[in-house]
């Protein structure tokens, strides 16, 4: 049965919202890609299941993670890095589905970043109570490429700050199908996700899935 991933009726939110110089929210942008996206996501997770990574400081992350693409983001006591091999399976990460490439490129283009070709997709799974502390995406070599972040499932509060950790972050509600894109002057802004509120999504259940696409190498 083909399920409509979008439960909102008469969404009155603006389809595009600029949140900083070089950063925009694209409301409901996933809709044209929905029929392909969820099956592709489930195939990735079947091949490379979610897992809770350990930070260099020895803490277990509350967010479960997996990857697809030519490289995947990993964390362990030795540090944060990109690696072409899934440490849990010893195999290459799943190939990035074409639908993700098209979606990321289209969102980046809409945000003003033309020619974006993602190499890596970090997939985070949040359950109620899970959060992601404020951080910068600094493990990539190509700061000229934007970050494209896709939200699915339960709504979340996205925290978007500035270039300093001490900058007070602004709070934005991200709903199923929203895409955030940031680059240029805001590429290294601190960002995170507040603890996920409990709820039940019609397709994905008691969870939020976030897909973050980026380009690791300089082209």
CATH code at position 22: 2.60.120.590
Q: Which of 191, 205, 107 is nearest to 152 (CA)?
A: 205
Does the residue 3 lie in any domain?
Answer: no
Output the CA angle 111-126-190, nearest 5 degrees: 45
**Residue 44 half-sphere exposure toward CB, CA atoms < 13 A:** 30
User: What pLDDT tens digit does each residue of the chain (219 aa) get?
Assistant: 334 444 444 567 899 999 999 999 999 999 999 999 999 999 999 999 999 999 999 999 999 999 999 999 999 999 999 999 999 999 999 999 999 999 999 999 999 999 999 999 999 999 999 999 999 988 776 788 999 999 999 999 999 999 999 999 999 999 999 999 999 999 999 999 999 999 999 999 999 999 999 986 544
Q: Which residue bears the tokens 């997709």?
A: 121
Look at residue 8 and tell me if it is in a domain: no
| Inside any domain, residue 11 | no
Full DSSP string of 147-193: EEEEEEES-EEEEE--SSTTSPPEEEEE-TT-EEEE-GGGTT--EEE
Strand partners of residue 135:
191
| Count of structural domains within the chain | 1
User: How many whole angstroms separate alpha carbon 166 and alpha carbon 185?
Assistant: 18
Give domain status of residue 159, yes or no. yes
For 74-95, letters b (16+ CB in 10 Å) and e give: bbeeeeeebeeebeeeeebbbe
10 located within any domain: no
Cα angle 112-106-147, degrees, rounded to a multiple of 5: 65
- Residue 9 inside a domain? The answer is no
Q: Residue 162 belongs to what domain range? A: 16-214
Quick check: is 51 in a domain?
Answer: yes
CA distance 157 to 165: 18
């Amino acid at each position: 049965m083909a399920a409509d991933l979008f439960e909102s009726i008469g969404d009155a939110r603006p389809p595009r919202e600029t949140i900083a110089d070089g950063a925009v929210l694209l409301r409901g942008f996933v809709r044209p890609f929905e029929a392909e996206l969820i099956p592709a996501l489930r195939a990735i997770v079947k091949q490379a299941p979610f897992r809770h990574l350990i930070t260099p400081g020895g803490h277990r992350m509350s967010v479960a993670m997996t990857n697809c693409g030519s490289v995947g983001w990993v964390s362990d006591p030795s540090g944060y890095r990109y690696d072409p091999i899934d440490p849990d399976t010893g195999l290459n990460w799943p190939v990035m589905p074409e639908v993700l490439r098209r979606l990321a490129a289209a969102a980046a283009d809409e945000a003003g970043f033309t020619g974006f070709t993602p190499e890596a997709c970090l997939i985070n799974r949040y359950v109620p109570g899970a959060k992601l502390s404020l951080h910068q995406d600094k493990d990539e070599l190509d700061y000229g490429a934007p970050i494209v972040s896709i939200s699915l499932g339960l709504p979340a509060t996205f925290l978007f700050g500035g270039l300093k950790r001490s900058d007070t972050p602004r709070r934005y509600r991200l709903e199923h199908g929203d895409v955030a894109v940031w680059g240029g002057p805001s590429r290294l802004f601190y960002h995170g996700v507040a603890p996920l509120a409990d709820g039940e999504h019609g397709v994905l259940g008691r969870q939020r899935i976030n897909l973050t696409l980026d380009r690791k190498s300089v082209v």
